[in-house]
Amino acid sequence: MAKLGETAPTRRGLLKTAGALAGAMIIPDAVSAAMRTADARPRALTPSDMAPVRPAPRIVPSSPRVVRPELMRQALAALERHGDSIKLRDRIVIADFSAPSSQRRFHFIDLISGKSVSKLVAHGSGSDPGHTGYLQRFSNLNGSNASCEGAFLADNYYVGKHGKSQRLIGLDHTNNNALARAIVVHGAWYSNEDMLRTHGRLGRSQGCFAVGERELAEVFDRLGQGRMIYAAKV
Share of the chain above pLDDT 90, in %: 70
Q: Given pLDDT bands bounded at 50, 70 and 90, which one contains residue 63?
A: very low
CB atoms near residue 69 (< 10 Å): 14
142 phi, psi to nearest 5 deg: -60, 140
pLDDT, tens digit, 9 for 90 and up, residues 32-62 = 333 333 444 445 544 444 444 434 333 333 3
CB atoms near residue 163 (< 10 Å): 11
Mean pLDDT of 189-212: 98
CA neighbor of 146 nearest in space, from 174, 188, 120, 167: 174
Instruction: Give the span between the Cα atoms of 195 and 192, in whole angstroms.
Output: 6
Q: Given pLDDT bands bounded at 50, 70 and 90, which one contains residue 12?
A: low
Mean pLDDT of 50-79: 64
Q: Does residue 7 or residue 73 have the better pLDDT? A: 73
Question: What pLDDT does residue 7 have?
Answer: 43
The yes-or-no verdict on residue 164 having pLDDT over 60 is: yes
Question: What pLDDT does residue 45 have?
Answer: 46
Assign domain 11-24+61-232 to a CATH class: mainly beta
Question: What pLDDT does residue 54 have?
Answer: 39
**Rounded mean pLDDT of the chain?**
82
Question: What pLDDT does residue 18 have?
Answer: 54
CA neighbor of 225 nearest in space, from 192, 180, 185, 179: 185
Q: Does residue 66 or residue 168 have the better pLDDT? A: 168
Instruction: Give the span between the Cα atoms of 166 and 168, in whole angstroms.
Output: 7
pLDDT, tens digit, 9 for 90 and up, residues 129-143 = 999 999 999 999 999
Write the CA distances from 232 to 36, 37, 43, 97, 174, integer angstroms: 43, 45, 59, 6, 11
- Amino acid in position 84: D
Q: Does residue 23 or residue 78 have the better pLDDT? A: 78
Instruction: Give the span between the Cα atoms of 205 and 207, in whole angstroms.
Output: 5
Report CA Rg, the chain. Answer: 21
Question: What pLDDT does residue 20 have?
Answer: 52
CA dihedral for 209, 114, 100, 98, sign (positive or negative): positive
Question: What pLDDT does residue 173 have?
Answer: 98
Domains of the chain, by residue range, sit at: 11-24+61-232
Q: Does residue 198 or residue 60 have the better pLDDT? A: 198
Instruction: Give the span between the Cα atoms of 185 and 199, in whole angstroms.
Output: 23
Task: Give the predicted TM-score (pTM) of the model.
Answer: 0.75
Q: Given pLDDT bands bounded at 50, 70 and 90, which one contains residue 67?
A: confident
